[in-house]
Protein backbone atom coordinates (compact mmCIF):
# COMPACT_ATOMS: atom_id res chain seq x y z
CA UNK A 1 0.00 0.00 0.00
CA UNK A 2 1.19 3.51 -0.76
CA UNK A 3 0.29 5.01 2.59
CA UNK A 4 2.03 3.72 5.67
CA UNK A 5 2.09 4.18 9.38
CA UNK A 6 3.57 7.52 10.51
CA UNK A 7 3.00 9.18 7.15
CA UNK A 8 1.47 12.63 7.27
CA UNK A 9 -1.56 12.80 5.03
CA UNK A 10 -4.05 15.36 3.77
CA UNK A 11 -7.73 14.42 3.67
CA UNK A 12 -9.17 15.20 0.24
CA UNK A 13 -12.81 14.17 0.58
CA UNK A 14 -15.50 13.93 3.22
CA UNK A 15 -16.25 15.94 6.31
CA UNK A 16 -12.58 16.28 7.24
CA UNK A 17 -11.54 17.52 3.82
CA UNK A 18 -8.48 19.77 4.04
CA UNK A 19 -7.31 18.47 7.41
CA UNK A 20 -3.92 16.97 7.98
CA UNK A 21 -2.96 14.18 10.29
CA UNK A 22 -0.50 11.46 11.04
CA UNK A 23 -1.32 7.88 10.15
CA UNK A 24 -1.58 5.87 13.35
CA UNK A 25 -2.38 2.54 11.76
CA UNK A 26 -2.47 1.23 8.24
CA UNK A 27 -4.60 -1.70 7.17
CA UNK A 28 -3.20 -2.75 3.77
CA UNK A 29 -5.65 -5.63 3.39
CA UNK A 30 -8.64 -3.30 3.62
CA UNK A 31 -6.80 -0.34 2.05
CA UNK A 32 -7.80 1.78 5.01
CA UNK A 33 -5.89 4.00 7.41
CA UNK A 34 -6.52 5.39 10.85
CA UNK A 35 -5.46 9.03 10.99
CA UNK A 36 -4.93 11.07 14.14
CA UNK A 37 -7.87 13.43 14.73
CA UNK A 38 -9.61 12.51 11.48
CA UNK A 39 -13.05 10.96 11.05
CA UNK A 40 -14.00 11.17 14.69
CA UNK A 41 -17.03 9.19 15.67
CA UNK A 42 -18.90 9.27 18.90
CA UNK A 43 -19.26 6.06 20.77
CA UNK A 44 -21.58 5.48 23.63
CA UNK A 45 -19.98 3.52 26.37
CA UNK A 46 -21.57 1.83 29.29
CA UNK A 47 -20.06 1.73 32.72
CA UNK A 48 -18.27 -1.51 33.29
CA UNK A 49 -17.46 -1.80 36.94
CA UNK A 50 -14.99 0.87 37.90
CA UNK A 51 -12.89 0.51 34.81
CA UNK A 52 -14.97 2.64 32.48
CA UNK A 53 -17.20 5.60 32.89
CA UNK A 54 -20.49 5.72 31.12
CA UNK A 55 -20.85 8.42 28.52
CA UNK A 56 -19.83 9.37 25.07
CA UNK A 57 -16.26 9.16 23.89
CA UNK A 58 -14.83 10.27 20.60
CA UNK A 59 -12.46 8.13 18.67
CA UNK A 60 -11.11 7.91 15.19
CA UNK A 61 -12.55 5.59 12.59
CA UNK A 62 -10.62 4.35 9.60
CA UNK A 63 -10.90 6.01 6.21
CA UNK A 64 -10.15 4.65 2.79
CA UNK A 65 -6.68 5.39 1.41
CA UNK A 66 -8.15 6.95 -1.70
CA UNK A 67 -9.57 9.70 0.52
CA UNK A 68 -6.13 10.89 1.56
CA UNK A 69 -2.99 12.12 -0.14
CA UNK A 70 0.50 11.82 1.21
CA UNK A 71 2.11 15.06 2.25
CA UNK A 72 5.70 15.03 1.09
CA UNK A 73 8.01 16.03 3.92
CA UNK A 74 10.54 17.43 1.44
CA UNK A 75 8.45 19.73 -0.75
CA UNK A 76 5.45 19.89 1.61
CA UNK A 77 2.94 19.25 -1.14
CA UNK A 78 0.15 16.72 -1.22
CA UNK A 79 1.47 14.33 -3.79
CA UNK A 80 0.91 11.17 -5.75
CA UNK A 81 3.35 8.45 -4.99
CA UNK A 82 5.57 6.68 -7.43
CA UNK A 83 7.85 3.72 -6.95
CA UNK A 84 11.47 3.28 -7.87
CA UNK A 85 13.74 0.29 -7.68
CA UNK A 86 17.13 0.97 -6.15
CA UNK A 87 20.29 -0.75 -7.30
CA UNK A 88 20.26 -3.00 -4.27
CA UNK A 89 16.82 -4.26 -5.27
CA UNK A 90 14.83 -2.31 -2.74
CA UNK A 91 11.62 -0.69 -3.87
CA UNK A 92 11.13 2.80 -2.47
CA UNK A 93 8.40 5.38 -2.71
CA UNK A 94 9.11 8.64 -4.45
CA UNK A 95 7.30 11.95 -4.50
CA UNK A 96 5.86 12.66 -7.94
CA UNK A 97 6.14 16.41 -7.33
CA UNK A 98 9.78 16.80 -6.36
CA UNK A 99 11.15 13.35 -7.12
CA UNK A 100 12.54 12.81 -3.64
CA UNK A 101 12.72 9.36 -2.15
CA UNK A 102 10.21 9.22 0.69
CA UNK A 103 11.46 6.13 2.51
ZN1 LIG B 1 8.01 16.16 -2.66
Q: Ligand 1: distance of its center to the CA of 16 in Å?
A: 23
The most distant pair of C-alpha atoms in the chain lies apart, rounded to whole Å, by 58
- Residue pLDDT, tens place only, 64-100: 999 999 999 899 999 999 999 999 999 999 999 999 9
Q: Ligand 1: distance of its center to the CA of 53 in Å?
A: 45
Q: Ligand 1: distance of its center to the CA of 10 in Å?
A: 14
**Averaged over 12-26, what is the pLDDT?**
96
Helix (H/G/I), strand (E/B), else coil: 79: strand
Exposed, middle or buried, 24 (CB in 10 Å: 0-12/13-18/19+)?
middle
pTM (2 decimals)?
0.83
Mean residue pLDDT across the chain: 92
Confidence bin at 51 (pLDDT 50/70/90): low
Amino acid sequence: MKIRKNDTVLVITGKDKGKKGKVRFAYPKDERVLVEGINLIKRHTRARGQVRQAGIIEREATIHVTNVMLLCNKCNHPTRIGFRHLQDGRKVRICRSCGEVID
